[in-house]
Structure 1
Amino acid sequence: MCVNYHSPTREQFGTLGAFSELPADWRWPDEVWKDYSAPIIRAGVDGRPSACLASYGMVPRRRIPPGVKPFDTMNARAESLGERRSFAPAWRRLQLCAVPMAWFYEPCYESGRALRHAIGMHDDSPFMVAGLWREWTEADGTVESSFTQITINADQHPLMSRMHKPGDEKRSLVVIAPDELEDWLACRDVETARSFLRHYPSERMKDWAAPQTVRKAAPEPSPNLSLF
């Protein structure tokens, strides 16, 4: 499962076609981990793609009740979207989003041990990954957003089947084709939305060995500076 990705730079966002520029005071890390804030794209009030900052993981760690064993919600399995308590409400309400990425990371065991690999587009362009979002009301009345990314089985995908530990099920993020972004965000029934949950052609993707980095503690949540 992907739990870490590299976000596009501010300059790269202009090539994604969803918007022209982001607010100057938005800040996000290059590498995104659980509970980090990063930009996502969702449908605005006018129906057009719009951006907001959201926390990575549908249920932020600070939202897990005391006494409950911590759990991760960075990935939502397509097969159980309508069943999992953490994701089903957003899926049924079609709270769909797209997560901009430059590349994401997975472990590759082809050498006999886990090596970190980056996976991105063959032409190095940024891309969008299918996800879900939800909102949380804070004690002071402000509203914060969080998100998860959707995964599908990848046992037969030429590239993604090479990732993860031998014997484990192979999984992949769902890359949304650029010309399908608005249609994905505008879905009005779950069956139509489910039709988007398919593999991206492997010949348009590539992977490469990526140096391991040290994960820092998650920063404090940023204000939700939604564009809509």
Structure 2
Amino acid sequence: MCSHYEPVITKKQLATHFKVADLEDGLKPELWPGYIGPFIRKHEYADVGDDAVPFRELMVGSFGMIPHWSKDTKIARMTYNARSETVAEKPSFRDAWRLNRHCIIPAQAIFEPDWSTGKAVPTRIVRTDGKPMGIAGIWTGWKNPANGEILRSFSMLTVNADDHEFMRNFHKPQDEKRMVVILQEEDYDGWLSATWQDSRQYLKQFPAELMQTQTEAWTTDLP
């Protein structure tokens, strides 16, 4: 499970690796649940037949799903990851899943706890090829009852990683091992276009040989 990551917030990287533009300024370089970060969805007018409309659209929203029925945004602290096995059933996620609201969450790195010493050591995980990660997610919109403004939000999808040679080394020894779904670049548009009936083919483990830890000073205090 991932509750802390580094989003891709440089316009050059977003344009080069994700083919999107127009990122707003001032986003945080490290995100925790409830923080605002970028995500990529299929453009709402991508199917109108206008060549001027890009297929992908860059948005910003809360890291942590805020379903339409929520009274406030506090639920984002618990809905930042959605289990692929139960996403269609859980009240916080099922509407977004049923409506095919797929997204890609651009990440430079994710952090997971290494318990090999008996204590949780936050560990930075990156791709071995230096490319950013495109994490599969779902998104939704929430209307603030106080002012009527719409806040978008997103959650990362996860799969079991008990047998994953790399990700099984994280989290407590007795806990189930989980990992976020990292998409292959050639699957980006397919994931954004897929219906919920066709989505399962994308929800799989990322190759262990393409992931590595990267030692870096811990720079952000826990929220």
TM-score by length of 1: 0.85
Residue equivalent to 1:16:
17
Aligned to 2:28: 29
Q: Equivalent residues in 2 for 1:150-165 (5 A)?
A: 150-165=157-172
CA RMSD of aligned residues (A): 2.2
Higher RCO (CA-CA < 8 Å; seq separation 6+): 1
Q: Which residue of 2 aligns with 1:223?
A: none
The TM-score, its normalising length taken from structure 2, stands at: 0.87
Q: What is the Cα deviation at residue 154 of structure 1?
A: 0.2
In 1, are the aligned partners of 2:66 and 2:142 still within 8 Å (CA)?
no
Q: What corresponds to 1:221 in structure 2?
A: none
CA contact (8 A) 2:66 2:141 kept: no
Does the alignment pair 1:103 with 2:102?
Answer: no
Matches within 5 A, 1:23-62: 23=23, 25-44=24-43, 45-47=45-47, 48-59=55-66
Deviation per CA, 1:109-164, whole angstroms, max 9, x where unpaired?
Answer: 12232111111110221121010100012343332101100011000001100010
Matched residue type, 2:16: T
Percent identical pairs in the alignment equals 31
* Counterpart residue identity of residue 144, structure 1: L
**Partner residue of 1:126?**
132
Q: CA deviation at 1:8?
A: 1.6
- Give structure 2 stretches of 5+ with no counterpart: 48-54
Structure 1 residues 31 and 69, CA gap change in structure 2 (3 angstroms): closer
Q: Which residue of 2 aligns with 1:225?
A: none
Partner SS state of residue 148, structure 1: strand
Unaligned runs of 5+ in 1: 218-228
Contact 1:106 1:119 in 2 (8 A): yes
Q: Which amino acid aligns with 1:41?
A: I
Amino acid in structure 1 at the alignment position of 2:198: T
Aligned residues: 211
1:201 match: 207
> How far apart, CA to CA, are the structure 1 residues paired with 2:170 and 2:71?
30
